Amino acid sequence: MALTANAIPSQITTFPCPYDATLAFCSAQVIIATGYLNNLNSGQLDLGGAAPVAAAGRTDFIWNLLITAANFGTADESYTFRLLGSNDVAFGNGNVELIAMHDIAATAALRNLTAVLGATPAIPPTNLAGTLFQMPATNLMQRIYYRYLRAHMVAVGTGPSVTATSWISRANINF
């Protein structure tokens, strides 16, 4: 059975995650190849730096990924979005940790869990400007606080193209 929205409730509640350009990786960035989401703030956030993020130590947040266009035209495209953390400002090999991940794909066979996940519903959905993925996350992994964050996308397929806006929001999170 294909993924469909539940008819009840008709008004879906989301996390309150205001957009703040100082906490954004990119804004309406068109991405056609594997790489970082980086048309704002050099694609890197410093959680131990100056305001408004000054929060050395544990920082809980919502990672927001707004996709307003995704090409699935040849049915062989897939996109894997990863939120990465590091204590190395240069994100050198071996100094990076996976904080969160989400993938979208034209078919179930292209998803990360092919036997479980279905194909991604249409992007954008009917009557909406885009699809918003909101993932609660923290910079604490394996008892290590990661100071720097970057968002990365792996693009696969004949003609990959995604338009994305990505940011973190430090709005109050009650898990």
Residue 138 CA to residue 83 CA, distance in Å, equals: 10
**Token pair recorded at residue 95:** 């100094």
Quick one: three-class SS letters along 143-162? Answer: CEECCEEEEEEEEECCCCCE
* 8-state DSSP, 130: -
31 pLDDT more than 70: yes
pLDDT digits (tens, 9 = 90+) for 93-126: 999 999 999 999 999 999 988 888 888 888 888 7
Task: List the domain boundaries for the chain.
Answer: 21-169
Residue 130's identity, in one-letter code, is: G
pLDDT at residue 57, as a whole number = 79
pLDDT digits (tens, 9 = 90+) for 153-174: 999 999 999 999 999 998 666 6
What CATH class does 21-169 carry?
mainly beta
pTM (two decimals): 0.87
